[in-house]
Chains A and B, each alone.
Chain A
Amino acid sequence: MNLIKQDIVHALKKGIRFDSRKPFEFRDLKVEVGKVKTAEGFAHVKLGETEVLAGVKLSVDKPFPDTPDEGVLSVNSDLSPLASPDFEVGPPSIKAIELARVVDRGIRESHAVDVKALCIEPKEKVWVVNVDIAPLNDDGNLIDASGIAAILALKNAVFPEYDGEVVNYKKHTTKKLPVSKVPIPVTVFKFADMLLVDPTAEEESFIDARLTATSIEGGIITALQKGGESPITVDEANRMVELSIEKAEEIRKKIKKFL
């Protein structure tokens, strides 16, 4: 086993981590919303030194043929090489794709965004909601930080003026995007035979497995994603999800005033 990993495991057995946190303790969460005026909704999330921006852009387009009376929600992410020496220029990496898809599923399956209310004219015109996630600094646990940023940006979003023909992005109305729930992804990481949450980039580079569970109010799970090289036991999976729901509730309380 790698020496640093040995040290991390050794410390975890005593219930501590390199930055003196407990295994199930999140780093400080700092949030700002609405600062970027070119976006219809915006959030800036800091989880320790991990920093993520999320912006919402709205546009009007044709609906998909199989859902003629529903608006479109799409979550995208671009891991700019600005945020980490491990990110490279080029088409979205598998990490960026997974990140966007996990965050997307959590929001989509929670039905947090009322897509029916985004219909302007069935078969012809609906609102398209694009959530873009842009990490500024990757110090681990990007999925959780991005999920928090995405839902905060959606909660912050207002419609631009629309006269039936063109969208006037210079004028934002006071009408809020219809977002009713707060899905929060929390990833639990497996480290040898121990569990922890919210790893730093250093810790994250040594993990064996991870499980992301997105949950909404009332502890209902709306998305799961297992990652990492090692398998997890059934018992571990249950414990990880339980912990994830508990932590999501804590985060929801912390960000309450921005919702």
Chain B
Amino acid sequence: MKYEITYDKRVDGRKFDQLRPIEAKVGIIPRADGSAFFKDGNTWAYAAVYGPRRLFPRSMQNPSKGILRCRYNMMPFSGMGDRVRPGPSRRAKEISMVTEKALAPVLDLDEFPNSVIDVFIELAQTDAGTRCAGINAAALALADAGLKMKDIPAAIAVGKVNNQYVVDLCYPEEAYEGIVVDMPVAMLPRTKEITLLQMDGQFEKEDLKKLLEIVKKPIDKIHEIQVKALKDKFKGVKADSEVVE
């Protein structure tokens, strides 16, 4: 596909492969078993993990393995336009489902028969990239809850604005006049296995190949930030006793 129009400068002045300013923090919700805050530019995601705990109603219990249940929700004042009506929309339900699929592969759910691990994701402010920010926060919250994990999933959107490949699209880019491709990806940073892949727009298979290559660097960067956030929680915490030989 060839377009006359080009996209030579990003609307917010970032480099094409540059992420927005990211902040991550774990352990922010004391009542939860694990929690985290992940901020990507003006997109703010809070995540809390409760469990593993008994699953109700009983008829939903699976005696051979536990389930991971995610709930993605936008706070009523978090949208770019009108107030978001409370309660799950079709969009929120779909995002909740793909979030489950993005996170579950790193957990050993066989360990928790008849149980559920609940992950609640709340967006306080949004500027595109909410499902990725939600996944990044949720992955941190799961780790903070002390669950055994093979890896810490990381997610980011890559895409194309006119003829230009871009990383971490903001809302004005998603809504850009021209041909826009938005492709959220979640990966296990260690193996680069994909656990979430969606795409809106039009592109060719070469673009997919290219974008899946491009996404690796920002995934590693997010992984770095996640690991730092987890370590920061324990900064200044001293061990109870010293190991004696």
A→B interface (CB under 8 Å) = 35-39, 42, 49, 51, 53, 55-57, 59, 76, 78, 80-85, 89, 91-92, 130, 132, 134, 136-139, 169-170, 201
Contact = CB atoms under 8 A, between A and B. Distances in A.
The 5 closest A-B pairs by CB, nearest first: A55-B77, A82-B120, A39-B77, A57-B83, A132-B76
Contacts of B73: 80
B38 interface: no
Interface residues of B, number: 32
Contacts of A53: 75, 124
B82 A139 contact: no
A132 B31 contact: no
Contacts of B122: 80, 82, 134, 136
Interface of B: 28-32, 42, 44, 46-48, 50, 71, 73, 75-83, 86-87, 118, 120-122, 124-127
Nearest to B33: A85
Contacts of A78: 75-76, 86
Contacts of B124: 36, 53, 55, 134
Contacts of A169: 80-82
A85 B76 contact: no
Nearest to B50: A85
Given A39-B78, A55-B124, 19 more contacts: A35-B125, A36-B44, A38-B126, A51-B29, A56-B77, A57-B77, A78-B86, A82-B29, A83-B29, A89-B71, A92-B86, A132-B75, A132-B77, A134-B122, A134-B124, A136-B122, A169-B80, A169-B82, A201-B31
25 contacts: A35-B125, A37-B125, A38-B127, A55-B76, A55-B78, A55-B124, A59-B82, A59-B83, A78-B76, A81-B48, A82-B46, A82-B120, A82-B121, A83-B31, A85-B31, A85-B32, A85-B50, A91-B87, A130-B76, A130-B77, A132-B75, A132-B77, A134-B75, A137-B31, A139-B31
B125 A36 contact: yes
A201 B29 CA distance: 14
A134 B42 CA distance: 18
B9 to A, nearest CB: 20
